[in-house]
Copies of this chain bind each other. A is one copy, B any other.
Amino acid sequence: MNDTQQGFIMYPIGKVQRGDDGIRLEIDEAYRPALAQLDQFSHVMVFWWADRFDNDDYRGMLQCEPPYAQGHVTGMFATRSPIRPNLIAMTTCKLEAVDEAAGVVRISDIDAVDGTPIVDLKAYFPVCDRVKDAYIPAWLEGWPEWMPENGIGLEEGEA
């Protein structure tokens, strides 16, 4: 529906690598200087591109009935689904180590599959990101009030 509109271009800066020794974000050489001082933070927001869903059908999907909210037709902007008009996903991750020279950021977990392209990293600043009086819909009550200690991972069965 957007063929006539001007778009904004993002380039990959690295990719997610899931291995037996944990999860690494591999940052392309050109972007490694941008990692300076990131190791001074406990958490990082990883912005990734849901390339598995990059086609017109998925990008045209505006509403869904989330598995966790049966009976509630929900707009994609009210979900965290990676399926949405612009396939920009964001996961807050616990930092384990940053090797600026090697371009390796080790994190505890992430809900992105192996090989997922990364487009940005942002340090987690509580003054920007931690909301004291947040509430969620009544049909989600009972969900945890905090991010799990090791963050959000893949759901069972995801590659």
Contacts and interface: CB of A to CB of B under 8 A. Distances in A.
Contacts of A80: 122-123, 125, 128
Give the copy number.
2
Interface string A93-134: 000000010000000000000000101111111111111111
Nearest to A148: B127
A84 B74 CA distance: 33
Contacts of A159: none
A145 B127 CA distance: 6
A6 B44 CA distance: 25
A33 to B, nearest CB: 4
Interface residues of A, number: 78
Nearest to A111: B128
Contacts of A148: 127
A157 interface: no
18 contacts: A8-B119, A10-B10, A13-B86, A31-B85, A34-B84, A35-B75, A37-B73, A37-B75, A38-B77, A40-B136, A42-B136, A77-B122, A88-B119, A126-B146, A127-B144, A127-B146, A128-B152, A129-B131
Interface of A: 1-2, 5-13, 30-31, 33-38, 40-45, 47, 49, 51, 54, 62-63, 72-80, 84-88, 90-92, 100, 117, 119-138, 143-149, 152
